[in-house]
Structure formats: structure tokens, C-alpha cells
Amino acid sequence: MAILSDVDIKKYLNEGKIIINPIEDYDKQIQPSSVDMRIGSEFKTFKVVRKPFIDPKDPTDISSYMESLHLKEDESFIIHPGEFALATTYEFVEIPDDLVARVEGRSSMGRLGITMHVTAGYIDPGFKGRITLEISNIGKMPVALYPGQRVCQIVFETMTTPSQKPYGHPDRDSKYMGQKRPESSRIKQDYELRKD
């Protein structure tokens, strides 16, 4: 696999092969081998629940353990040490069938102790939607996050051939296709946990 350079990223964007909408400023958001992405205005956090653990097989909807918070443009979301939250990129993304993408935290955020993805930094070919950010504060101090702030970057890699069954294909279990807001885990839809 090869990582796309800024030259190829601009070319693919201009051709409509990659869609990132909206890009506020090409010169500031497009980096040498990535595109800086901004955080949206909706966050999800876990409520304090009197249960001993989350069971993926439990018929209770996991989203009932979470609450949503919508911020105005000038408001901040404070993430405290040890906390976890979901958010999405401000930008809507479409990945073609012959590329994969990765979300990486910006170094400036990492130096504050903020991670932007716990495990789901990989974006399949064919994905369309806003990218979910799995945010954790592993530092010692609370940190403010502002809607529209550049918090992560997306990197594109070529595949040897286009995917035969990309994300969103009718034969695939594409649980998060087209997401527009932070989505709670849909793990109970995994085939190995379902009892059909």
C-alpha cells in the first residue's frame, strides 16, 4: 500500500473520487500526506449506570447508557482525565472502493493527553458518513474541545485492487454506513452475538 501525498489528495478531491465536505481552507487543512479534520458539535458520554458491566448480548440498547450533548459554536466540551466520549468529524467523508483511510490524532492534541480514536481509526473502502471519534483524556488535566476545532487527520492508502465487497455492500454488515452523528456501539448486531 502507498499513502497519498498532498498532490494526489487534491487531485482525488477535485475529481470527486474522495469527498470531504466541507473543507474550510484547502491550504490550511491539507497537509503533506493527510487532511486535518474538525470536530462536530455533538458529543455522547456514558451516564452513571447502576449495572456491574456492559453485556453486548444484553437486549438493552447500549445507547440507553449514553447521553447526548449538543454544543453551540462558541461553547466547549470539557473532557476530564479518565473520561471517554464519542463525537464525529464535522466533515462528511466518502471513501472510494480502492482506498482505505486512517484517522490519526493531531500531535497538538496528543501533547495535551487527548486521543481521538481508541481502536476504530481504520475506515473501510466504500464508507460514507461522518467519522466517529472515540475520545479519551489520558492526561492529568481537563481539556476543552470546541466545535470546528481541528483535532485529527485522515490519511489515505491505496489498495492492490478495488474491494469486491466494500463497506455498504448489501452482503456486508455495515452498521455505521451514512452516520451523521455520534453513534453508540452496535456490537450486539455482530453475527457471532446474535441468536437468529
At 175 the pLDDT is 63
The 10s digit of each residue's pLDDT in 51-77 is 777 777 776 767 777 888 899 888 999
Amino acid 35: pLDDT? 97
Reported as a single tens digit per residue, the pLDDT across 14-25 is 999 999 999 999
In-domain check, residue 178? no
Q: List the CATH number of the domain containing 128.
A: 2.70.40.10
Q: Is residue 15 part of a domain?
A: yes
Looking at the domain assignment, is residue 122 inside a domain? yes
CA-CA distances (angstroms) from residue 45 to 66, 88, 168?
Answer: 5, 13, 27
Report the range of poorest mean pLDDT among 79-83, 125-129, 144-148, 167-171: 167-171
For residue 91, indicate whether it is catalytic.
no
- Report yes or no on 121 lying in a domain: yes
CA distances from 5 to 20, 25, 144, 195 (A): 16, 17, 31, 45
Number of domains in the chain: 1
Q: Residue 5: what residue type?
A: S
Domain assignment of residue 60, yes or no: no
Does 50 fall in a domain? no
Residues in the annotated binding site for dCTP: 106-111, 124, 132-134, 153, 167, 175, 179
Hunting for cell 494526489 — which residue is that? 8
Residue 77 neighbours by CB distance under 10 Å: 20
- DSSP code per residue over 77-129: EEE-TT-EEEEEEEEEEE--TTEEEEEEE-HHHHTTTEES-SS--EE-TT-EE
Alpha-carbon distance of 101 to 83, in angstroms, equals: 26
The answer to whether 88 and 138 have CB atoms below 8 angstroms apart is: no
Domain that holds residue 124: 2-45+65-162
Of the pLDDT bands very low, low, confident and very high (cuts 50, 70, 90), residue 32 is: very high
Express each pLDDT in 138-183 by its tens digit. 999 999 999 999 999 999 999 999 888 777 777 777 767 767 777 7
Q: Catalytic: which of 42, 83, 134, 192?
A: 134
Residue 92: pLDDT above 60? yes
Mean pLDDT across 98-113: 94
Q: Is pLDDT of 196 > 60? A: no
> What distance in Å separates the CA atoms of residue 36 and residue 42, rounded to the nearest whole number?
19
d(CA 64, CA 186): 12
- Provide the phi-psi class of 121: left if phi over 0, else alpha when psi is between -120 and 50, else beta: alpha
Mean pLDDT, all residues of the chain: 87
Among the ranges 2-11, 41-50, 64-73, 111-120, which has the highest mean pLDDT value? 2-11
Predicted TM-score (pTM) of this structure: 0.84
Mean pLDDT of 116-121: 78
Share above pLDDT 90 across residues of the chain, in percent, rounded to a whole number: 62
Contacts of 48 (CB under 8 A, 6+ apart): none
Say which residue, 176 or 90, is predicted with more confidence. 90
75 falls within a domain: yes
Does residue 57 sit within a domain? no
